[in-house]
Structure 1
Amino acid sequence: MGQLLLSKNVGTVSKFEPDKFRELLVAAIVMHDLPFCFVEYTAIRAIFSSLCPEATIITRNTARADLIKMHGREKEKIKFMLKDASSRISLTSDLWTSIITDGYICITAHFIDRNWVLQKRVLNFCFMPPPRNGVSLYEKMYNLLCEWEIENKVFSVTLDNASSNDVFVDILRTQLSIRKALVCNGEFFHFRCYAHILNLIVQDGLKEIDIAIQKIQKVLNM
């Protein structure tokens, strides 16, 4: 998001515009993963004042508020793209646990826009508290579909082979079928991630030749 805004605006401003300055500043925070207190650094404020005495020095709270507003505007743009797309929308989702056992979920939408260009947009990346079972995953996904107003446009969902995903998909398919929102009554609704399946095959294969690999490593280390 930040890189897109910067590429559109850098070099196009002929005179100082306070609103544009704040928009670019927030875009830089997003693009470079800077802390909000970046705008309060003494040296940074000195640079802004030197470049343009008219520049309004904002606080970290103002930067945060501007970022929330920017997020809202970008979200509305994506929501319009999803609504305007003549194609169905396919979803991919992944759930994993961090090294401190916090759970996270990411949901991505894939669709073809009116110009026949394949689009991919992350709809949600957030903390997923326990229990991370099929019912909880269904509630999270269905609420997200309603939030983005695409519950009647979903074609398929691609997930890994976790048993909780099977439960989650069955409940979601039933709910969407009641709304008559699926193609072919959901026959093609659930796809298993081929990359995950291939990884499982490779891991099982490596276990079979693990002893041979260890012997080769010992020879190479001699």
Structure 2
Amino acid sequence: MWRSQLKKRSEKLPSLGIISRKRLKKTHAICNYCGKAIKTMGNTTNLLNHLSNVHPERLKDSKGKNHTTALDVFVGKSTVHYINDSARKIKIDEMVLNMIAVYVQPFSCVEDEGFIALLKEMDPRYKLPSRTYLRDVSLPIQYEKCKAKLREILNSVDYLALTTDLWTSRANEGYITVTCHFISTNFKLESAILATQHLLTPTNHTAANIADTIKSVLSDWSISQKVVCMVPDNDASMKKACESLKYKHLPCVAHTINLLVQDMLKQQILDDILSRCKTIVAFFKRSSTAYAKFKAAQKTENPYVLIQEMPTRWNSAYEMIKRIIITNEYISLVLAVSHNAPLPLSAEDIDTLKELSMLLAPFADAILSVSTNTNV
């Protein structure tokens, strides 16, 4: 049985050196791992000797129901996975981890049947590592490598600026993120996140606690003496933290502009119409039926969606107004036939929104232009 399988496998291969194809069919087998032609004359001794001398790791007995013999490997009867220290497996493991880290995928994705089937089809010999191995072993190793590389870069930099902010996750946990900005040796503006972590005392958002947390981050990277400026938001605690650290405080320009716009939108002359706009958007967000009618009324494959204004999302009021102006015809159509719907906006209301949109446009452009981290 194994003899005929060896013959069939050799028929698919080109002649090797001075060995003729006809002779190769009868006297040699081809190693699946190195492609070498192994002489065999009615027995498997040479095959086993080759495995023992060149690929000893392949002869290790596997436990369980997937037992694989050396002969199975040669005739292609069984798939043998890459060993853990093989260059191929290490490279694919790194790519999987990179996908998880860069694109914020859950570690459990390596247990998805579809993902497993895809990689098996791409490379049958590759076996995905477990989620715990990626989380507890691979990720810390790659993190330390990236950290060492960044530390080397920062050692060559003389001056740094910092941006920092406090934020809350969806799990309602508070974090602080510290990012550094510098000009590289080839005169390119670079940015790197130094830390995203809890405050040293998570329940305390005082200026002193914020300053101590930032100081610990800078100390870890050994760059405390290189910081020339800090750019936080306009919060009083952040200002005091900068004073405590004795760094120049430059309030975020985009945040300052946003505060100015928010104060303007609170004017009584605008409060009524903006409240009605938010009520209309909220109605469509609550009612899936109304939203479906709104999209269907547009008669296009890519219908517009409505945007709700949120004070913490810069330019959101401007984006909400622009979207309502564009889609008001369809909004009014659906509101007119919907139960318990708010009143549609009048022509006068739309004129007011158009004027307000023209007023807000320069502020929105300014916020976008100063929010980039790729230009000075």
* TM-score category (smaller protein): 0.7 to 0.9
Secondary structure at the residue paired with 2:250? strand
User: Which residue is equivalent to 1:211?
Assistant: 269
Say what the alpha-carbon RMSD is for the aligned residues: 2.5
Does the alignment pair 1:95 with 2:166? yes
How far apart are 1:101 and its partner, in Å? 4.6
User: Which residue is equivalent to 1:138?
Assistant: 211
Match of 2:250 among 175, 191, 195: 191
Amino acid at match of 1:72: E
Amino acid at match of 1:21: I
CA contact (8 A) 2:93 2:128 kept: no
Q: Distance in 2 between matches of 1:133 and 1:115?
A: 39
Match of 1:77 among 128, 145, 149: 149
- Deviations 1:143-187 (CA, angstroms, capped at 9, x unpaired): 0001111011111111222121222112211xxxxxxxxxxxx5x
Amino acid at match of 2:234: N
How far apart are 1:219 and its partner, in Å? 9.1
Amino acid at match of 1:214: D
Q: Distance in 1 between matches of 2:242 and 2:270?
A: 41
How far apart are 1:16 and its partner, in Å? 7.1
User: Which residue is equivalent to 1:58?
Assistant: 129
- Deviations 1:90-121 (CA, angstroms, capped at 9, x unpaired): 00111134566532211110100111111011
Q: Distance in 2 between matches of 1:120 and 1:204?
A: 31
Structure 2 stretches of 5 or more lacking a match? 1-85, 277-342, 348-376
Describe the shift of the 1:62–1:219 C-alpha distance in structure 2 as closer, same or farther (beyond 3 A). Answer: closer
Q: Distance in 2 between matches of 1:21 and 1:97?
A: 34
TM-score (norm 1): 0.76
TM-score (norm 2): 0.47
How far apart are 1:45 and its partner, in Å? 2.8
Structure 1 stretches of 5 or more lacking a match? 1-14, 174-185
Q: Distance in 1 between matches of 2:92 and 2:115?
A: 14
Bigger Cα displacement from structure 2, 44-53 vs 61-70: 44-53
User: Which residue is equivalent to 2:112?
Assistant: 41
Secondary structure at the residue paired with 1:121? strand
Describe the shift of the 1:194–1:43 C-alpha distance in structure 2 as closer, same or farther (beyond 3 A). Answer: closer
Describe the shift of the 1:70–1:96 C-alpha distance in structure 2 as closer, same or farther (beyond 3 A). Answer: same
Bigger Cα displacement from structure 2, 141-150 vs 35-44: 35-44
User: Which residue is equivalent to 1:68?
Assistant: 140
Q: Distance in 2 between matches of 1:38 and 1:192?
A: 41
Secondary structure at the residue paired with 2:224? coil
Structure 1: which 4+ aligned runs deviate by more than 4 Å?
98-101, 215-219
Q: Distance in 2 between matches of 1:101 and 1:75?
A: 28
Describe the shift of the 1:110–1:212 C-alpha distance in structure 2 as closer, same or farther (beyond 3 A). Answer: closer
Secondary structure at the residue paired with 1:57? coil
**Percent of aligned positions with the same letter in both sequences?**
29
Q: Distance in 2 between matches of 1:98 and 1:34?
A: 16
Bigger Cα displacement from structure 2, 115-124 vs 197-206: 197-206
